[in-house]
């Protein structure tokens, strides 16, 4: 697979393609060690960072959970509506916790990126958009209304009637306030959840780019060509199940995670997902150097939306399965940033 970077004679396949290619194929090997190094650092560091967040916020969870674990709320709900026998008052804390977690990550991120755009802050990190790539007001509004419905109707219902009982079945102590695992166990569980999420998302997302599924299921998400944070969850229900619900929950179910850890997992992972769709890449910033930001993945996913040629998920998986031809040909993150930043170069 040898070809000079940026060849003008290259032919592309993409969009509705399970295996997008550049002909002739570019040389992946020159980027091998950077990809491997980032994969190692990120898959060790982020589970550790999530563990720190979980440890810091644990006292707050104790106060919230003990207040909500009184049966009063559930009894009122149970006497007003016919609830399935398998649902208990313990599942209410999970539904409330998930709703608070989603709000705590969604609202600040939307406001942060809106402020950056509206007041032109940190524009050196903004990725270039042509007028045609910017979403229309109607599309933005549709995405906003859809996310409000997801966060405050669908997610609480799924948490209460499905995810909560399933987690209790896998771990009988999942709902107990005083049963939050030791930090080492939290780190191990976060590592499994992160790795499994990457694998399942990559496979599901790549399948949705096949000719059979792209138009009916996935094209709605690509209505955002120049992505914004609001685009992260803009998808059909089928896509949400395949690339969000299952990849997010699979590791938690496999590990028998505590309710609290699942809430923290959604909070931390969605923070990254919103950054990946934000249209900003904080490469070289203090946040990047502290490994708090997610800039390479943000640039990769922005490339995925603006060119629609590969980059289906985690960098290491696209590298391993050869689905980042257009990205490699352009010079990976440095090549893309040279083209996609507003000024055409890093200041």
CB-based burial, 248-260: b 16+ in 10 Å, e otherwise: bbbbbbebbbbbb
96: nearest Cα among 233, 251, 263, 247: 263
Q: What is the pTM of this model?
A: 0.91
Lowest mean pLDDT among 42-46, 90-94, 150-154, 225-229: 90-94
Strand partners, 23: 11
Cα gap 127→43, rounded to integer Å = 26
Cα gap 6→317, rounded to integer Å = 22
Task: State the pLDDT at residue 9.
Answer: 42
Tokens representing 165 are 């009982």
Q: Is the pLDDT of residue 297 over 90?
A: yes
Using a 10 angstrom Cβ sphere, with 0-12 exposed, 13-18 middle and 19 or more buried, the burial of residue 8 is exposed
User: With pLDDT > 70 as the criterion, what percentage of the chain qualifies?
Assistant: 90
Task: State the pLDDT at residue 342.
Answer: 47
Residue with tokens 């690509």, as numbered in its chain: 222
Helices and strands (DSSP H and E) totals, the chain:
15, 2
Cα gap 34→283, rounded to integer Å = 14
279: nearest Cα among 299, 258, 309: 299
Cα gap 124→277, rounded to integer Å = 17
The model's pLDDT over 307-318, given as tens digits with 9 standing for 90+, comes to 999 999 999 999
């Amino acid at each position: 697979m040898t070809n000079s970077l940026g060849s003008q004679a290259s032919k592309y396949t993409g969009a509705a393609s399970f295996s997008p290619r550049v002909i002739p194929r570019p040389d992946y090997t020159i980027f091998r060690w950077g990809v491997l190094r980032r994969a190692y650092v990120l898959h060790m560091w982020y589970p550790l960072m999530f563990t720190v967040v979980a440890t810091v916020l644990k006292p707050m969870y104790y106060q919230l959970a003990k207040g909500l674990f009184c049966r009063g709320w559930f009894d009122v709900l149970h006497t007003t509506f016919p609830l399935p026998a398998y649902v208990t008052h313990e599942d209410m804390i999970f539904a409330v916790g998930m709703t608070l977690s989603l709000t705590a990550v969604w609202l600040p991120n939307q406001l942060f990126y809106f402020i950056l755009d509206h007041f032109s802050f940190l524009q050196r990190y903004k990725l270039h958009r042509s007028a045609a790539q910017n979403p229309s007001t109607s599309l933005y509004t549709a995405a906003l209304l859809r996310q409000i419905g997801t966060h405050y109707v669908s997610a609480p219902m799924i948490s209460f009637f499905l995810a909560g009982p399933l987690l209790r079945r896998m771990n009988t102590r999942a709902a107990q306030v005083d049963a939050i695992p030791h930090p080492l166990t939290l780190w191990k569980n976060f590592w499994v959840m992160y790795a499994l999420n990457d694998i399942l998302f990559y496979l599901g997302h790549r399948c949705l780019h096949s000719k059979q599924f792209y138009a009916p299921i996935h094209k709605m998400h690509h209505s955002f060509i120049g992505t914004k944070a609001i685009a992260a969850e803009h998808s059909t229900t089928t896509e949400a199940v395949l690339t969000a619900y299952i990849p997010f929950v699979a590791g938690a179910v496999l590990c028998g995670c505590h309710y609290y850890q699942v809430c923290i997992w959604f909070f931390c992972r969605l923070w990254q997902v919103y950054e990946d769709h934000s249209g900003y890449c904080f490469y070289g910033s203090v946040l990047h150097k502290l490994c708090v930001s997610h800039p390479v993945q943000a640039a990769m996913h922005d490339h995925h939306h603006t060119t629609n040629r590969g980059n289906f998920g985690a960098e290491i998986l696209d590298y391993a399965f050869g689905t980042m031809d257009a990205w490699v040909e352009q010079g990976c993150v440095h090549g893309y940033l040279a083209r996609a930043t507003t000024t055409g170069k890093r200041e």
